[in-house]
Amino acid sequence: MVRMAISARANISTVLILGIVIISLVHHLGQLGATADMLRGGSAGGVAKPDAVLLLRANDVDGRFATECRDRTPYPNELKQLDTRREILSKYGEPLLIVPFVSKSLGERLRTAGWSWADSEGNLDLRSPGLVLRQRVSVTRTKLKRATQLPGGAGSSAAIRRLIRSPRNTPLATVTNLAAQVGVSQPRMSQILTSLSDLDLTVKKGREWFLTDREALLDQFVDGLDQPAAPTRYLYSLDPVSAVAERSALLTDTVVVSADVGPDLIAPWRQPSVVVLYSHDWIDPDRIGAVEAEGRDSSNVFVRQPSDNAVMASGATARLRNGGPAIPLADPTQMLADLIELGGSDRQEAAEVLRTWILERP
């Protein structure tokens, strides 16, 4: 049973929505053997109090939760923006965020960020001293049919790389514009976005698409890439590989630079010992100060001709720290994949730095 004490000044529609949400939550808590009372929150002195304070009792243990109800589930990269609100709520009880749906991965992040949470589907994770109430409801038939892998086929790789590079906290470009940028038809772009929506990676609101979990999309995409991305031609140079990258950039405008040099230009980590070059043109070893090598183990210059043109399409450039020409960079997701494929503990550290840069770029 739930008892609601509501301020006479509260907006009636807000009260009704809040009441429905809380009653649904209390129903699910009751299935776990808990009872609840709700006290209405509001604003006072210019300070926004909790939407409601939920008093729970389970297994002879009491818990007090200060709730924040939202009609949109926050994106993972928005959780930091909720810190101030969480601190205010903590003065009234354990901060409890109630939203339409919380995926398993988002639930873990909310818990790490100091939130208890519940959603409209019956999933919840409420914690206070001596009290833990958790539940994840069984998946529905619809969810059992949902995709478990990123979309493949024509244009998918280019589309996903483009989405990962998209500005944060803003709607994606229109489907028409995205299709033109990626080089696929509008129906195919819509199909890709819908497939990603089935994985909770994109969401459509009205006529706009939003990227909901850049981190999960990046990790799934890089983990699923076939590496190496193209047959490799092995060269060797006595010169620093950064100098080889610079000469290659001057030699042709169809070359892009990947690991180790590319990531080092974005976030310096150590002296690069290998350079991976992607080019659609034949590169003459003599013109970049290199010779043919017997194989991978004796090579420090890897030249690859990619079948996926999206590897070449980042449009980003960087300069060596001593100046020189702008060096065109491979797509950041490819640089990350190449660091991982090249291997070594130092490169693993560099990969973590590059991954953070990709996720936090504007």
**pLDDT per position as a tens digit, 162-192:** 889 887 667 787 888 888 888 889 899 999 9
SS3 77: helix
Strand partners, 54: 38, 65
Per-residue pLDDT at 3: 41
User: Taking Cα atoms as reference points, which of 200, 133, 207, 222 lies closest to residue 171?
Assistant: 207
Per-residue pLDDT at 142: 37
4-135: in CATH 3.30.70: no
230, 234, 240, 243 alpha-carbon torsion, rounded to 10°: -60
Per-residue pLDDT at 71: 77
- As a whole number of angstroms, the distance between CA 131 and CA 62 comes to 7
Q: Would you say residue 305 has pLDDT above 80?
A: yes
Per-residue pLDDT at 275: 96
Residue 291 phi, psi dihedral angles, 5° rounding: -135, 165
CB 255 within 8 A of CB 328: yes
Q: Which range, of 23-37, 42-56, 262-276, 334-348, averages the lowest pLDDT? A: 42-56
Per-residue pLDDT at 80: 87
Strands (E), the chain: 4-5, 35-40, 43-44, 47-48, 52-58, 61-69, 94-99, 116-119, 124-128, 131-135, 202-205, 208-211, 232-236, 255-260, 275-279, 291-292, 301-304, 317-320, 323-328
- As a whole number of angstroms, the distance between CA 82 and CA 106 comes to 14
Q: Which residue has the tokens 């906290």?
A: 169
Domain ranges of the chain: 4-135, 143-224, 232-360
- R_g of the chain computed on alpha carbons: 26
CB 175 within 8 A of CB 209: yes
Q: Which range, of 79-93, 100-114, 163-177, 245-259, averages the lowest pLDDT? A: 163-177
Q: According to the per-residue pLDDT averaged within each range, which of 9-18, 26-35, 277-286 is highest?
A: 277-286
Task: Classify domain 143-224 at the CATH topology level.
Answer: Arc Repressor Mutant, subunit A (1.10.10)
H helices of 3-76, in order, are 12-31
> What integer is the mean pLDDT of 114-120?
91
> What integer is the mean pLDDT of 5-17?
40
